[in-house]
Amino acid sequence: MKVKKYLAPSMSEAMKRIRGELGSEAVILSSKAVYKGGFLGLFKKRNIEVIAAVEPVSAPLQTVTKQKTKKLPSDPQLEGQTPNVDESQGNAKLLKEIEGLKDMINRIQIDSSNRHYPERLQKAYAYLTEQEVDPAIRSKIMDGLHEKWFAYKQQSSDEEIQSWLEEAMLAILDQVNNGKPGLQKKYINIVGPTGVGKTTTLAKVAAETILKHDKRVAFITTDTYRIAAIDQLKTYAKILNVPIEVAYNLEDFKRATERFSHYDYVFIDTAGRNFRNPQYVKDLNEIIHFTDEMETYLVLSLTSKQKDMEDIYRQFATIPIKQVIFTKADETSIFGTVFHFVNTHKMGVAYITNGQNVPDDIEIATSSQLLKMALEAKKYERSS
């Protein structure tokens, strides 16, 4: 990594120099005010000291493969003998394998009864399996279909079975208020891990607020980690003809909110960082003043694994999350994670996005719309 220190009279001047020398992919490692010059300790000039870095282009694969592996010297007395294995490491590995087997057995036990459903219900079971619906939820849905199957004396049509399936899936989604973001607070905060499309999603929601509801909107970005991220939001701000402020600390953030106090809504973009690092969420609290006038939306990608979604949600649990926004619906045909998230956390879905186009490619995520997208992503096949 190439690291360089910059001293400039203002942050904007420092950013200009960093962009020119290191490029738009540079990241800001730290920034602070320093005072230089003056006479007898008086009249010192305030400057900004910024440390930035950029990852160098990776070396070609051939360079790595040419390196020879250093061979450890052999001991003649040990040749032909089985090497000793550290007992504690062996026990840890064994315990890990046992936990894995327990988890597999539990899932088999939850799901085992589903394999004995009548043939006419197997298509529904196959659909839920292909959608990677959690085994516990899948078992609950299939048990309900099974009961109806016998209640109707095993004479129901394929259309009726499909209707039962859709009703059961809709009932899970209807446990919470989906598709009612409302934007009831003045400050709309968007958080989430890197790579889920937070900035684009923020621009889409802001554009909808301007075009459909004729509201005055402003942007604040606290994503000072990557210069490219600031440039992206500035581009959206120019297209939508809205003002934007960059907040490097809590003082900047408060000053920006004061400037935009007469606007209807202020949309706040945050940095995308490694969600496994708890320091990321702590940094948010140091920059953003979470008040009663703010509502926060957690952005998750539908291409993420279910376990990763759970880890992300737990990481942001210290922040008051109003609803979730699912992105990248166009990049997957699997929607089982939506049902698991709603059923587990009882949290509603505000929007779902299905592309990069602004202001298009975003849907208000009503329960019926979520179900429709899940069914159309991988069509439920009826029995012949």
- What ranges do the domains of the chain cover? 2-54, 108-172, 187-377
Cα–Cα nearest to 348, from 384, 382, 298, 308: 298
pLDDT at 266: 93
Residue 258 has pLDDT above 60, yes or no: yes
Higher pLDDT, 378 or 364: 364
Min mean pLDDT across 1-15, 127-141, 204-218, 328-342 is at 1-15
pTM for the model: 0.69
pLDDT at 171: 94
131 neighbors 336 (Cβ within 8 angstroms): yes
Which tens digits make up the pLDDT trace of 25-45? 777 777 777 777 665 556 677
Identify the CATH number of the domain defined by range 187-377. Answer: 3.40.50.300
Cα–Cα nearest to 189, from 112, 248, 253: 253
Q: Rounded to an integer, what distance in angstroms lies between the CA atom of residue 264 and that of residue 376?
A: 37
What is the residue-wise DSSP string for 127-154?
Answer: HHHHTT--HHHHHHHHHHHHHHHHHTTT
